[in-house]
Amino acid sequence: MQTCLTLKKSNCKNCYKCIRNCPVKSIRFSGNQAHIIGNECILCGHCFVVCPQNAKQIVDSTEIVKVMLQGEEPVIASLAPSFIANYEGVGIDAMREALKKLGFADVEETAIGATIVKSEYDRMLREDNRDVLISSCCHSVNLLIQKYYPGVLHCLADVLSPMLAHCQDIKRRIPHAKTVFIGPCVAKKDEADHYKGLTDAVLTFEELTNWLSREGIELRRETDQEPESLARFFPVTGGVLKTMKKNAPGYTYLAIDGVENCIEALKDIESGKIHHCFIEMNACAGGCISGPVMEKYHKNPVKDYIAVAQYAGTKDFDVPQPDFMRLRKSFSPIELESRMPSETEIQSILRQMGKFRPSQELNCGSCGYNTCREKAIAIYQGKAEASMCLPYLKDKAESFSDSIVRNTPNGLIVLNEDLEVQQINAAARKIMNIRSANDVLGEPVVRILDPLIFMNALESRLGIIEQRQYLVEYKRYVEQTVIHDKESRLLICIMRDVTSEEREREKKENISRQTIEVADKVVDKQMRIVQEIASLLGETAAETKIALSKLKESISNE
Domain match, 376 and 427 both: no
> DSSP letters along 139-167, please?
HHHHHHHHHH-GGGGGGB--B--HHHHHH
Average pLDDT over residues 506-515: 81
Query: What domain range includes position 534?
Result: 514-558
Residue 391 has pLDDT above 90, yes or no: no
Strand ranges of the sheet holding 490-497, from the earlier edge strand across to the other edge: 421-424, 411-416, 490-497, 476-485, 464-471
327 vs 516 pLDDT, higher one: 327
Rounded to an integer, the average pLDDT of 20-37 is 86
Q: Taking the CB of residue 41, how many other CB atoms lie within 10 A of it?
A: 23
Residues 369, 414 within the same domain: no
Residues 81 and 155 in one domain: yes
Whole-model pTM: value is: 0.72
Q: How many helices (H) and strands (E) does the chain have?
A: 19, 16
Whether pLDDT at 50 is above 70: yes
Per-residue DSSP letter, 338: P
Tell me: do 415 and 403 sit in the same domain: no
Note the pLDDT of residue 99. 97
Q: Are residues 399 and 418 in the same domain?
A: no
| Mean pLDDT to the nearest integer, 328-341 | 88
pLDDT band at 2 (very low <50, low <70, confident <90, very high): very low
Q: What is the mean pLDDT of residues 212-219?
A: 96
Indicate whether 128 and 167 sit together in one domain. yes
Instruction: Tell me whether residue 87 is in a domain.
Output: yes
Tell me what the mean pLDDT of segment 271-296 comes to: 91
Asked if 263 contacts 313 with a C-beta cutoff of 8 angstroms, the reply is: no
* pLDDT, mean of residues 482-500: 89
Give which of 168, 173, 171, 183 is closest to 79, Cα–Cα. 183
pLDDT of residue 219: 95
Q: What pLDDT is recorded for position 164?
A: 97
Is 399 part of any domain?
yes
Verify that 198 and 276 share a domain, yes or no.
yes
pLDDT of amino acid 463: 82
When divided into structural domains, the chain yields a total of 4
Q: 477 and 519 share a domain?
A: no
Higher confidence at residue 480 or residue 514? 480
Average pLDDT, the chain: 88
Question: Quick check: is 335 in a domain?
Answer: no
Contact 28, 12 (CB under 8 A): no
CA-nearest of 345, 387, 264, 368 to 50 is: 368
Q: Buried b / exposed e across 151-166, counting CB within 10 Å, b at 16+?
A: ebbebbbebbbbbbbb
pLDDT for the residue numbered 558: 52
Q: Return the pLDDT at 177.
A: 96
Helix pair 372-380, 343-352: axis angle to 10 deg? 100
What's the chain's length in residues? Answer: 558
> Domain for residue 12, yes or no?
no
Task: With beta carbons less than 8 A apart as the criterion, state whether 50 and 18 touch.
Answer: yes
* CA neighbor of 118 nearest in space, from 385, 316, 357: 316
Rounded average pLDDT over 50-65:
88
Rounded to 5 degrees, what angle do the CA atoms 37, 39, 43 make? 75
Q: How many C-beta atoms surround the C-beta of residue 204 within 10 A?
A: 29
Percentage of the chain exceeding pLDDT 70: 92
- CA 375, CA 363: separation in Å to the nearest integer? 9
384, part of any domain:
yes
pLDDT reading at 397 higher than 80: no
Q: Residue 386 sits in a domain of what CATH number?
A: 1.10.15
> Is residue 201 located within the same domain as residue 298?
yes
Percent of the chain clearing pLDDT 90 (strictly above):
55
Q: CB-based contacts of 22: which residues, under 8 Å, 6+ apart?
A: 46, 47, 368
Confidence of residue 1 (pLDDT cuts 50, 70, 90): very low
Adjacency order of strands within the sheet including 132-134: 132-134, 277-282, 252-257
Range of lowest pLDDT (8-17, 68-77, 145-154, 239-248): 8-17
- Picking from 327, 356, 387, the residue at the C-terminal end of a domain is 327
Question: Residue 516's pLDDT band (boundaries 50, 70, 90)?
Answer: confident
Does 316 reside within a domain? yes
Most confident of 259-273, 453-467, 474-488: 259-273
Q: Are 421 and 369 within one domain?
A: no
Give percent helix, percent strand, percent coil of the chain, each to the nearest 5.
Answer: 45, 15, 35
Residue 452 forms part of a structural domain: yes
Task: From 302, 327, 352, give the residue that closes a domain.
Answer: 327
Angle, vertex CA 211, rays to CA 169 and CA 114, nearest 5: 25
- R_g of the chain, CA atoms, integer Å: 44
Contacts (Cβ under 8 Å, ≥6 apart) of 11: 53, 54, 55
Q: Which residue has the higher pLDDT, 403 or 294?
A: 294
For residue 473, give every residue at least 6 positions away whose Cβ sits within 8 Å of its Cβ, in sequence order, or none: none
Confidence of residue 394 (pLDDT cuts 50, 70, 90): low
Read off the CATH number of the domain in which 484 is found. Answer: 3.30.450.20
> Domain end: 327, 354, 384, which one?
327
Identify whether residues 147 and 205 lie together within a single domain.
Answer: yes
Does a structural domain hold residue 492? Answer: yes
Q: What angle do CA 5, 11, 13 make, to 5 degrees?
A: 110
Q: Is residue 161 a contact partner of residue 117, using CB atoms and an 8 Å limit?
A: yes
The strand pair at 132-134 and 56-58 is best described as unpaired
- pLDDT beyond 60 at 316: yes
Q: Which of 169-173, 313-317, 470-474 has the lowest mean pLDDT?
A: 470-474
What does the H/E/C string look like for 307-321?
HHHHHCCCCCCCCCC
Same-domain pairing of 240 and 95: yes
